[in-house]
Structure 1
């Protein structure tokens, strides 16, 4: 993810990259456990790599003040550790087979071990934040609460009177946007940036989080398994709600017979796969949904959220940092995996 361009930005880009590498090595140390039973599963997803969007964002927003320092890196590590912990739990709940191109943790060990590994990381993240002041502790607690609420609402699904698409967007805001927003705010807090920048970068973070997940809905339908690490239509075959399928349901309910027929084939295929049928039986429907207008609408919706994220930065002065945040939003909606 290139956040800086041109000769004038190279020095800043190099400095941030050095800080990110230092942060990475420190994070690996924080993930070490004396017990070998805990050490391997707790470090498993960290070793698998990742985009490190959250710690990168914390480092970047710290430049609105004095820049990266040990407390900024510590905050970034706590946020990334919280993110990693949530992935262990998500994969168990979703019965996911792959994560970051490697077998999901519960397929290597067991559901119980994966859940406990996630719990260990949540505990270690809380330990990191505990010495950083009351505001940081409260922010971490509220973020953790939103992660749990997002997962709960996703698991239970929309209730009577809930609008399914609004419910889905709120789940994305809680499960993904909240932690990215916290990452952005932590950078301002511990980089000693102006307090009036904290809310704008937090709104920016939440909105790019939603945009990130909406683009994931499009990427899920991509045939490029070598880039995404997943078979095209993994969520569709598992019956997981995504914006394209929710939009398709909306169109079918409004009386579009072609969309209703496609939806019926998808629902029948998902039911058959749950009974043990070959997931490949939905290949034609995955292709049809990828080419469908609802997938283009999902992409447009993601871009709108990214534009609104950038609009939230109006309070920030023109600077390399603001340009970097704008490019981060652009990179998120233009990625292919």
Structure 2
């Protein structure tokens, strides 16, 4: 778990995160429709890492007004958009669990889950209206990227497109965009300079890619207890994540890569039909493949890029905390990869 070394900053962050949590809950309550409040507040109440609000709050430390109400609104806004995307993702994936609880679609059906997500997007837009036109534009552009990424993932690579580049473009839109928005709005709300805001946004986007690549590795390397989700959940859905793409490189019909390719395809089918033995065999081969170590190396590379983007910011506890966050994101991958090997 990520910790902030500086005691003063840690206390400040804890207090501001608690205030953000209160704002989140009050924002989704009071629609006048009890069922809507219940559905929309379901995943908010379930908790989560709240990494995106934390990014917004830490980015605000580089401006002259980090304690303002606008910073809390920025932090709450990005979490509302994130949770809304989870509602929609769970409907598309037919997922039945999220954050240790039944998904909204599993409890109330797809229609209400989608409407709950839409409501959260609307409430986020209301918060964004108070942050000014620049924030509203950034929010709208991020929403467009989230949708583009989802559609691109569903469509798959275009003919002749490199699958790895396609996957990284999807990750940039589906994950990194919201990380970038969090830092951008936090800095903007606190009155940070344009140069600092741009650097923080770049940092957060690179961090978002590292975070997703690390999650890709954990999906293969970690067991259910460590990852909080079923082993090989991405494989069950047929997702060709970066570690899988690296493991399957090559077009030969014979040899280890060809055997792995056949096992992975069988594992995807088995995951969908419930044949655990075949799915487990595919996971075992993936864990022994070079894709795992190469995926980890890519996560580390993006984390290093993120840390490098912090170099133009003034030194201090906030910058150190952001650097430590990048280290934590890739650190958990090293532990899981070693255990899998």
Shorter-chain TM-score category?
Answer: over 0.9
TM-superposed CA distance for 1:161, in Å, is: 2.2
Alignment size in residue pairs: 332
Cα deviations across residues 122-177 of structure 1 (Å, max 9, x unaligned)?
11111111122110110110011111111110111111121110010010011110
TM-score (norm 2): 0.93
Q: 1:20 to 1:132 in 2, by over 3 A?
A: same
TM-superposed CA distance for 1:271, in Å, is: 2.5
2:219·2:232 contact (CA, 8 Å) conserved in 1? yes
Say whether 1:290 aligns with 2:266.
Answer: no
Runs of 4+ residues deviating >6 angstroms = none
Alignment partner, residue 302 of structure 1: 299
TM-score (norm 1): 0.94
Alignment partner, residue 63 of structure 2: 65
2:235·2:267 contact (CA, 8 Å) conserved in 1? no
- Paired with 2:9 and 2:247, the residues of 1 have a C-alpha distance of 45
1:58·1:76 contact (CA, 8 Å) conserved in 2? yes
- Paired with 2:187 and 2:274, the residues of 1 have a C-alpha distance of 51
Cα deviations across residues 52-76 of structure 1 (Å, max 9, x unaligned)?
1111011101111122320000011
> Once structures 1 and 2 are overlaid, which stretch shifts more, 137-146 or 326-335?
326-335
TM-superposed CA distance for 1:272, in Å, is: 4.3
Alignment partner, residue 136 of structure 2: 137
TM-superposed CA distance for 1:316, in Å, is: 0.7
Q: 1:316 to 1:255 in 2, by over 3 A?
A: farther
Alignment partner, residue 187 of structure 1: 186
Residues 172-321 of structure 1 mapped to structure 2, 5 A cutoff: 172-251=171-250, 253=251, 257-274=255-272, 276-321=273-318
1:81·1:121 contact (CA, 8 Å) conserved in 2? yes
Query: Alpha carbon RMSD of aligned pairs, Å?
Result: 1.7
Alignment partner, residue 50 of structure 2: 52
Alignment partner, residue 99 of structure 1: 98
Unaligned runs of 5+ in 2: 337-341
Partner SS, residue 221 of structure 1:
helix
TM-superposed CA distance for 1:232, in Å, is: 1.0
- Paired with 2:25 and 2:36, the residues of 1 have a C-alpha distance of 14
Alignment partner, residue 324 of structure 2: 327
- Paired with 2:223 and 2:266, the residues of 1 have a C-alpha distance of 25
